[in-house]
Structure 1
Amino acid sequence: MDILLPVILVFILGAAVGSFLNVVIYRLPAGLSLIYPPSRCPRCHTRLKPYDNVPVLGWLWLRGRCRYCRAPIAGRYPLIEFITGLLFVSVLGQFGGGIEMLGYWLLVSWLLVLALIDLDTLTLPDPLTISGLCLGWGFHAALAYTQTQTLSGGLAGLMTAVVASIIGLWLFDSISVLGSILLGKTAMGGGDAKLAAMLGAWLGWQGLLLSTFLAAAIGAFGGVGAIALGQLDRQRRIPFGPMLVLGALITLFYGNLLIQAYLGLFLPPVS
C-alpha cells in the first residue's frame, strides 16, 4: 500500500499532463493559443465542463462523444493521457525521486508531443526542439552540480551535453546530405537533425547513437512489413521523428542494458 499510493498519484499527474499535451499537439501546429480559449468541442465549440475534462475517465464517461452535439471524440486523446501516465510511473520506477525524475518527466512529455505532431503534420516545430535542447543542457548542468556540489562539475555536465548535441546535429546533417545525393531528393527534414541534437543533450552521445540505431531498425522492419501487407505506399513520405522518439524512449529505460549486452558480445568476461 505504501508503494501503491505514490504510483497512483504519479499516474494521475501524468494523465493530467497528457491532457495538456493533447492541447499542445492540436493547437501549436495551428498557431493557436495554448491557454485561450479553454477546452471546447472542435465541432460545436461549446466549452467543456471540468468533469468532461477528467483525463481518460471523462472520455469513457461520455462514451467518446461530445455531450452537446454528440460528435465523436477521437480515442487518441485518452490514449495519450493513459500513455503519459504510464511513462511518468515508469520514470518514477526507473529513476526514483529527485531531479532525474523531474527532468525525465519533461523529456517524455516533449517526446510525445513531437512524435504526434510529426505524425500529423510531417513537421517538428522549432519552438519544441530548441526549447527541449536548452532544457536538456540545463538538466545535465543541474544534475552534475547536484552530484559534485561544484560549479566546475556543473559546467562539465553542461559542456558534455553541448558536445553530444553537436554530434547529433552533425550526424543527421551528414546523413541528410548523403541521402539526398544518393536518392536525388531530400532525404531528411531539418527538424530531425534538431531533434537529434535535443536527444544528444538529454541522453548523451552514446544514448543518441543507440536511439538512432533503434529508430533505423524500427523504420526498416516496420516499413518493410507495412509495404508487404499493403498498408503503406512506397512513394509515401514516412516521418522519422516518431521512430526516433520510440528509439529514445527505449534507450531511456533500457539503454544501459542494451549497451552492456552489446559490449558483452565483444569483450571477454571479467574473471
Structure 2
Amino acid sequence: MSKGFGSPYFPPSTPRSVDGGIRAKSARGRIASTWWSTRFIEVLESTGMGGRLSRGRNYARRGQVIALGLSAGQVTASVQGSRARPYRVRIGITAYGKAEWSRVEERLAADAWFAAQLLDGRMPPDIEQIFADAGLTLFPSGRGDLALDCSCPDWEVPCKHLAAVFYLLAERFDDDPFLILAWRGRDRDDLLAHLGTGADAAADADAATPLTELLDVFYTSPERAGMTSAAATGASLLDQLPAPEVTVRGAALTDILRPVYDALRAPRHGEP
C-alpha cells in the first residue's frame, strides 16, 4: 500500500536482530563514495526527514536488510524491523523502452570513451548530458520520480526501511555503475552488445575496400601488386614537392637529397 503524508507518529522501536543480513560497508559518516551514487542519495536526503534517514543508515549498517534485488524499473527488498515478519520494500522508477534506449545508444556509440569508462567501473561525468540530449534523465531528479512503498505501518515517506534500502543501493551503484543503467531498462550485456554493433557498422561504412578483395595483394609489396609510385615511374618524389626554402651551404636542399633518392630508386642487384 502506498504511503501518504501527515500520518500519526510512530515511536522508535528496536528491530529484531538478523543473522546474515546485508550490511553497509561504510561503518560511519556518509554512505556513497562516488559522484553517481551521491547523486542518487541526494534524492533521498532532499526529503529533510533527518531522524528516519539516520535510523535508515543504522538499519543498513546493522544488516537489517535481508534481501535486495534490482530489475528494470524496480528495486525490491526485504527488511527486518521490530515485528516478526520482515517488511516488503519497493522502489520503482521509469524503465525506458527500445525507442528511448536507441536514442541513448546512438549517442554513446559515437564516442568509445563512454563504454571504456563504464568497463573501468566508472560512470562518465558527461553521461547525464547524453541522456538529456535524448530527452531523458538518468538519475531521478526528485522523490516524485520514484514510486516508494513499504509494508510497515509507518505512513511517512520515506520510512527507515526504505531509507536503509536506499543506502545499500547507493553502495551497489558505487561498485557497479551498470546497475543504474539496468534499473533504467538496459543491462550490461545488452548495452555493450548494442554499442558494439554500432561501432562495427561505423567501421564498415568507413572501409573503402572489403578485405576479401585484398587477400591476393595483402602480403606483397605495392609495386609487385601492380601499384605505381613515384620511384616506379621514374619521377623523383622531390620533383613533385614544392621547392623548400632551406639551403645547405648555399645549395638547395632538393639538390643535396637528389643523389640519395636516385640511389633508392635504382634497382638492386638481381632485381628486374
TM-score, structure 1 normalization: 0.21
Which structure is higher in helix share?
Answer: 1
Larger Rg: 2
TM-score (norm 2): 0.21
